[in-house]
A and B are shown apart, each in its own frame.
Chain A
Amino acid sequence: MDTSPSRDLTQLLRAWGAGDEHALEQLIPLVYGELRKTAKRRMAREREGHTLQTTALINEVYVRLVDLDGVGWQDRTHFFAICARLMRRILTDHARSRSYLKRGGDAVRVTFDEALMVSPDPALDLVALDGALQKLAAMDSRKGKVVELRFFGGLSLEETAAVLKISSDTVTRDWNLAKAWLLREMEGGPRHGF
């Protein structure tokens, strides 16, 4: 039972990355079960701890989940990409369902002030972002990937560079341009003829 849940997860991520859509369905309960155990252990430990330290909890789960030893470096960067994609899918779906509820699907554009707001940006519209990102990727797929890895995957500059096998400087430049482009796209600024 307790052998290595992370191996399963690793396999599933691998399978899903290879195109097996069913793997996604299996990822959910697996991860959930592992989380549950970790949560219980932590809660027992932090009985007097008052606040729930979500981040710490995730870390602990994560350590148990991912079979680092069983994954080579090549695979690891590959997983980054898969995970980022998974994240994008889950988060965008979630945001989409919420926006149906709240706004009847009418996406609210992010404004300048909101973009500057301290995290987390409540007005950031993931659905609109996802759409804009699709357009960006169609035109410049590498920049699309940079955003997916960084924003949805939470990767650092260096990690993104490692995954895409490009220099961090290039990632920085891609990232800056992509941000500007996406912001413009989402603000719905005037479109141009090219």
Chain B
Amino acid sequence: MDSERWQNVERLFHAAMECEESQRAAFLARACGGDEALLREVGLLVSCGSRAGRFIEEFAVEAVASALAGDEDEGQDNAANENREGTKFLATGQTISHYRVIRKLGTGGMGVVYEAEDIRLHRHVALKFLPDPLVHDGKALHRFQREALAASSLNHPNICTIYEVEEHEGQPVLVMELLEGESLKDRLHKGFMSTAELLDLGMQISDALAAAHAKGIIHRDIKPANIFMTATERVKVLDFGVAKAIASPQSDFDTDAESLTGEGVIVGTAAYMSPEQARGDEIDGRSDLFSLGVVLYEAATGQRPFAGKNRVLTMNAILNQEPVPPGQVNPELPARLDGIIAKALQKNPDLRYQDASEMRADLERVKPDTDNHLTSAQENGSTKPSPVLVMSVPADPAIVPARSRPFLRMIWGATAFLVLIVLAAAGFWYRYVRVARGLTEKDTIVLADFANTTGDSIFDDTLKTALNVSLRQSPFLNVLSDSQVAKTLKMMTRPADTKLTPEVTRELCQRVGSKAYIAGTIGSLGSEYVLGLKVVDCQSGDTLAEEQVTAKSKEKVLDALGQAASRLRGELGESLATVQKFDVPLFQATTPSLEALQAYRLGLKAYQTRGAAASLPYYQRAIELDPNFAMGYWAVGGAYSELVEFERASEYFTKAFQLKDHASEWEKLDIAGIYYRHVTGELDKAARTYEEGIENYPRNAFFYASLATVYGEQGKYDKAAELLRQALRLAPSLVVYGNLANYALALQRFDEARQIVQAGQARKLDHFELHSALYALAFVGGDITAMAEQRQWFTGKPEESFGLALASDTEAYSGHLGDAGKLAKQAVDSAIRADNKETGAIWQVNAALQQAAFGNSAEARQTAAKALKLAPKSPGVEVEAALTLAMAGNAARAESLAQDLGKRFPLDTQMQSLWLPAIQAQVALDRKNPASALNALQAALPVELGNILFINNLSCLYPVYVRGEAYLGAGQGTAAAAEFQKIIDHSGIVWNCWTGAIAHLGVARANALQFKISQGADADAARIRALAAYKDFLTLWKDADPDVPVLKEAKAEYAKLQ
């Protein structure tokens, strides 16, 4: 084609490709202006261009690498080499030294083999020539000579003999025993061997190996192609070609550091390798015995014990999989032989036969049970008529009577590697320079937005969401969370809805200290879709892994994406085992409806930028589109829960829980954990779920942090703290410093708590929980200035009501009931302003409880009623209201509330074991039945220290307080004092809750009681303790509101005791 015409074709091609697909034909018809030939030419090119897709997009080497990897069949390898060496050609009748060439027998990887006659000894021999490339390789030549020397030292009826090494035109020629017969490989193609044949085979090979091993020579490549069966039933082992002299006292074989096979290089055919060989470890004779085990297995069953689609998978099977017992494949196999093979195939060489003669002896022992005609035949000197197969033109070049394979393997091994290296040299020139490996388990990755060139906006965000779900199944990969991405964007002074192009993502990735990002693409190709995933190291820009898949239709896109993601996980270094274990197909793990997924994604986005309320309509739409979309329900539940609409949240969490089998492993655990915690309240089940999460995803902080919260609720603060520390080690950016500080407080480790807060602040965290923890520390340390500072922090923040509530509690703690009430009212109003009625109701009911405890019963009942009105169906409000009413003389109402709660939360751990016992006990006390109260409180003992999540402090320890009162009512002073003291001793849990103050009065009253019922010294001591405690309380309340009933009582009691 002339260049002008070609340029024309080129121009039209590009112009047409830029048109919409549907417009192309029309465009070309117009543009070609009647030139039919041109139209045809360009038209065909355009049609090829529009469907070329992945054609030659994969590097050539990748296509070939798989072919090479698949080259397990030796025959192909050999043939592949055939034309590499065809140059050496000897004519019949030609003489080399004292050998006259008769004919060519075959061509193998190791060169050409000829049958020749030894003119002096008048015997027929085999001559083996090196292939050309080796001749030019000094090292290979050297190895070849070594091989010859090593093998020629072996003189054994079961080993093919090497007579001498000759030289022809500067190249070495091996002169070897000429064998007649067939290789075991060919024999096996004809069908199973009888047990007798099998045993005989095994024994003869064992004999050969025993002889070689005794000389310190390991075969390294025992396989059917290297085992020759002569016409006289003699088994001959060929190819001690890769044999390497091992240090052995009997060996006169000189070994130097650079062995025949090269240090650490994996030689041998993958399927027959021992595990240590596959690993490239040092090997000894026991490796050959493993290979013999594989050979016997194959001979006995017709299949290989370790099989994989390619070399790597085969090696993986050898290293990690247990073969099916041969007896299961071939039930006729004697059990003892089954055992022998199993022993030979032990992965640990120490558990195998330790030497060949040991294995032979075992084979021998099987013998008497079986037909032994073979042995007798042999002993009688081959009486069996058997066709003599001269090895002319063998079907498989590998069975030329020469050590054909090992060098071949090396050469092809070398070439395969060279191919890859040259690829590296060319293609990955600087891309890979700084990358020595893929990801580690400690790295996080960031997902970029998909580049969507399909023109179909449905793919815009959905694919990234789906990819996230898919990758989150992996225990190995840590995907940076959306919230962390949003936070980092903020740091980068970019809007939260910034499109995460590869450039932006890379910057974000660097900033946040992640290792890599994944950039996805989707494009269409007619009705098909092409998806690409590329993992890029964000520091160097190197591509770490890449996957490309096509989907036949829109419906198949998710499926294809999931597959690509799974493969990517493997490429990035995740073990095959976990990739397979956690691989729920994406359409199942999310939803088969792209529309639903899109709505879900929009919901996530709305949630990030505009909050839970804004996200709800999208999530609702998502579950409308796919009523089985587990994560959709889960998200609706989460949004409602954030909007403090717990009942609704529970409904959706329940639905998600019912559908959880439609979710991936990660989501399943997450959904189950949330369900147990927030819907049923079964803390033990939640704990077990999260424990399983940790087991499956040990490198992911999420389940550690979740389990810590559950442990906190169970009152296991030390375990909770340890888990959070583990979580922080895994994800230092985790916002759990507040919780961790709380747990340290709960354990009365105040210095540690302060350090934790500081650590959090050093990480630029400024969460309100850190400030409430600091407030608590200031409170327990009596640092009024610091308390004021921390209270100030809350001003104007969304969590302002929490600060006001803290201040209110502190006033109440000091008996300033009026100020406490005012602050509580402000807290309530602030919470309502922040659209959080339930939190407001909590502050209100807290005030009610204070009023009740301090003796203002009527006021307390009113306040409780207001709180219940503000948030009628909030269990948090209800439990405290019930307790208030029980204290304030309305036991009947308290009881009915408790009954209702009991019915609504039948499984809830804290409800059943903490709140209801406290309420019932308080009701019993109102009815002057302290024994019944004490009985009810038994249930609370295991969890009574547990963290109550809806208040500022960790817990007011109401069950402990009520138990103290019950003991007082029961006249048991000492026991009562111990309960109140427990509250005082847990100041890190109670903080500024009124129970902490009243506990001092409790101790005083308990000792006063003890004084009354004791005598002598005991009574005196109790009186002194009582006086001290009263004094403590009155000091604490020195400027308390004077009209508080409990203060008046305390003063009177104190005066009476003095």
Q: A residues within 8 Å of B by Cβ?
A: 9, 13, 25, 27-29, 31-33, 35-37, 39-41, 43-44, 46-47, 50-56, 58-63, 65-66, 68, 76, 79-80, 83-84, 86-88, 90-91, 93-98, 100-102, 110, 112, 115-122, 124, 126, 129, 139-140, 147, 149-156, 159, 173, 176-177, 179-184, 187, 189-190, 192-194
A147 to chain B, nearest CB (A): 7
Is A80 touching B14 in the complex (CB atoms < 8 A)? no
| Distance of A68 Cα from B694 Cα, bound (Å) | 45
Is A61 touching B421 in the complex (CB atoms < 8 A)? yes
Q: Is B1052 an interface residue (CB 8 A)?
A: no
Is A180 touching B438 in the complex (CB atoms < 8 A)? no
A53-B573, A76-B429, A100-B83 known; A39+B422 contact, CB < 8 A: no
Is B84 touching A154 in the complex (CB atoms < 8 A)? no
A58-B424, A122-B63, A177-B49 known; A80+B429 contact, CB < 8 A: yes
Is A180 touching B60 in the complex (CB atoms < 8 A)? no
Considering only residues 61-100 of chain B, those with a C-beta below 8 Å from chain A are 61-68, 76, 79-84
Residue among B38, B60, B431 with the highest chain A CB neighbour number at 10 A: B60
Considering only residues 126-166 of chain B, those with a C-beta below 8 Å from chain A are 133, 136-140
A139 to chain B, nearest CB (A): 6
Q: Is B661 an interface residue (CB 8 A)?
A: no
Is A120 touching B62 in the complex (CB atoms < 8 A)? yes
> Hey, which chain A residues are within 8 Å of B525, CB to CB?
116
Q: Is B1038 an interface residue (CB 8 A)?
A: no
**Sample of 20 further A-B pairs with CB below 8 A, known A32-B410, A33-B139, A62-B433:** A32-B414, A55-B571, A61-B421, A62-B425, A62-B428, A79-B429, A80-B426, A86-B422, A87-B60, A87-B419, A94-B64, A94-B415, A97-B82, A101-B76, A117-B54, A118-B549, A121-B54, A155-B426, A176-B49, A182-B55
B5-13, B815-823, B915-923: which one contacts chain A? B5-13
Is B423 touching A154 in the complex (CB atoms < 8 A)? yes
Is B37 touching A192 in the complex (CB atoms < 8 A)? yes
Q: Is B31 an interface residue (CB 8 A)?
A: no
Q: Is B872 an interface residue (CB 8 A)?
A: no
Is A179 touching B55 in the complex (CB atoms < 8 A)? yes
Considering only residues 2-58 of chain B, those with a C-beta below 8 Å from chain A are 2, 5-6, 10, 13-14, 17, 37-38, 40-41, 44-46, 48-49, 51-58
> Hey, which chain B residues are within 8 Å of A187, CB to CB?
48
6 tightest A-B CB contacts, nearest first:
A154-B427, A40-B264, A83-B426, A43-B280, A180-B49, A62-B424
B313-321, B458-466, B944-952: which one contacts chain A? B313-321
Is B432 touching A59 in the complex (CB atoms < 8 A)? yes
Is B425 touching A66 in the complex (CB atoms < 8 A)? yes
Is B61 touching A180 in the complex (CB atoms < 8 A)? no
| Distance of A56 Cα from B420 Cα, bound (Å) | 11
Is B421 touching A31 in the complex (CB atoms < 8 A)? yes
| Distance of A33 Cα from B413 Cα, bound (Å) | 11
Is B56 touching A32 in the complex (CB atoms < 8 A)? no
| Distance of A20 Cα from B62 Cα, bound (Å) | 28
A63-B436, A126-B63 known; A31+B418 contact, CB < 8 A: yes
Is B320 touching A90 in the complex (CB atoms < 8 A)? no
> Hey, which chain B residues are within 8 Å of A31, CB to CB?
414, 417-418, 421-422
Is B315 touching A120 in the complex (CB atoms < 8 A)? no
25 inter-chain pairs at a CB distance below 8 angstroms, sorted by A residue, are: A33-B262, A36-B262, A36-B264, A37-B263, A40-B263, A50-B320, A50-B575, A53-B438, A55-B571, A58-B417, A62-B421, A80-B429, A83-B422, A87-B61, A91-B419, A100-B79, A110-B55, A116-B55, A116-B525, A119-B63, A121-B54, A122-B66, A155-B427, A156-B427, A194-B1
Is A56 touching B67 in the complex (CB atoms < 8 A)? no
Is A151 touching B13 in the complex (CB atoms < 8 A)? no
Is A121 touching B417 in the complex (CB atoms < 8 A)? no
Is B63 touching A121 in the complex (CB atoms < 8 A)? yes
Is A68 touching B79 in the complex (CB atoms < 8 A)? no
> Hey, which chain A residues are within 8 Å of B413, CB to CB?
32
A28-B133, A118-B548, A118-B550 known; A39+B264 contact, CB < 8 A: yes
> Hey, which chain B residues are within 8 Å of A54, CB to CB?
65, 312, 420
- Interface size counted on chain B using CB atoms at 8 A: 95
Is B550 touching A116 in the complex (CB atoms < 8 A)? yes
Chain A: which residue is nearest B432 at the CB level? A59
Is B426 touching A87 in the complex (CB atoms < 8 A)? yes
Considering only residues 262-303 of chain B, those with a C-beta below 8 Å from chain A are 262-266, 279-281
> Hey, which chain B residues are within 8 Å of A46, CB to CB?
279
| Distance of A47 Cα from B527 Cα, bound (Å) | 47
A39-B264, A68-B433, A192-B37 known; A52+B312 contact, CB < 8 A: yes
A119-B548, A140-B6, A176-B17 known; A51+B576 contact, CB < 8 A: yes
A44-B264, A51-B316, A79-B425 known; A181+B45 contact, CB < 8 A: yes
| Distance of A29 Cα from B258 Cα, bound (Å) | 14
| Distance of A80 Cα from B14 Cα, bound (Å) | 27
Which of B44, B51, B61 is A154 in contact with, Cβ under 8 Å? Answer: B61
Is B81 touching A59 in the complex (CB atoms < 8 A)? no
Is B136 touching A25 in the complex (CB atoms < 8 A)? yes
| Distance of A159 Cα from B68 Cα, bound (Å) | 27
A94-B80, A96-B83 known; A116+B53 contact, CB < 8 A: yes
Which of A25, A76, A139, A184 is B48 in contact with, Cβ under 8 Å? Answer: A184
> Hey, which chain B residues are within 8 Å of A159, CB to CB?
427, 429
| Distance of A102 Cα from B410 Cα, bound (Å) | 22
> Hey, which chain B residues are within 8 Å of A84, CB to CB?
426
A63 to chain B, nearest CB (A): 6
Q: Is B528 an interface residue (CB 8 A)?
A: yes
B891 to chain A, nearest CB (A): 66
Is B425 touching A83 in the complex (CB atoms < 8 A)? yes
Q: Is B395 an interface residue (CB 8 A)?
A: no
Is A59 touching B436 in the complex (CB atoms < 8 A)? yes
B503 to chain A, nearest CB (A): 14
A49 to chain B, nearest CB (A): 9
B807 to chain A, nearest CB (A): 58
Chain A: which residue is nearest B139 at the CB level? A29
> Hey, which chain A residues are within 8 Å of B414, CB to CB?
28-29, 31-32, 35
B306 to chain A, nearest CB (A): 14
Which of A65, A150, A177, A193 is B425 in contact with, Cβ under 8 Å? Answer: A65
A59-B435, A184-B44 known; A91+B61 contact, CB < 8 A: yes
Which of A33, A53, A126, A156 is B437 in contact with, Cβ under 8 Å? Answer: A53
> Hey, which chain A residues are within 8 Å of B281, CB to CB?
43, 47
| Distance of A47 Cα from B319 Cα, bound (Å) | 10
> Hey, which chain A residues are within 8 Å of B139, CB to CB?
29, 33
Residue among A55, A150, A176 with the highest chain B CB neighbour number at 10 A: A55
B602 to chain A, nearest CB (A): 31
B563 to chain A, nearest CB (A): 8
A68 to chain B, nearest CB (A): 7
Which of B264, B423, B573 is A58 in contact with, Cβ under 8 Å? Answer: B423
| Distance of A123 Cα from B622 Cα, bound (Å) | 42
Is A180 touching B46 in the complex (CB atoms < 8 A)? yes
Is A152 touching B418 in the complex (CB atoms < 8 A)? no
| Distance of A50 Cα from B320 Cα, bound (Å) | 7
Chain A: which residue is nearest B53 at the CB level? A116
> Hey, which chain B residues are within 8 Å of A140, CB to CB?
6
Residue among B5, B53, B410 with the highest chain A CB neighbour number at 10 A: B53
Residue among B49, B52, B319 with the highest chain A CB neighbour number at 10 A: B52
A51-B575, A147-B56 known; A43+B264 contact, CB < 8 A: yes
Chain B: which residue is nearest A51 at the CB level? B316
Which of B13, B55, B315 is A52 in contact with, Cβ under 8 Å? Answer: B315
Chain A: which residue is nearest B437 at the CB level? A56
> Hey, which chain A residues are within 8 Å of B138, CB to CB?
29
A177 to chain B, nearest CB (A): 6
> Hey, which chain B residues are within 8 Å of A98, CB to CB?
67, 76, 79-80
Chain A: which residue is nearest B13 at the CB level? A177
> Hey, which chain B residues are within 8 Å of A13, CB to CB?
425
| Distance of A35 Cα from B413 Cα, bound (Å) | 10
| Distance of A150 Cα from B426 Cα, bound (Å) | 10
Is B52 touching A115 in the complex (CB atoms < 8 A)? yes
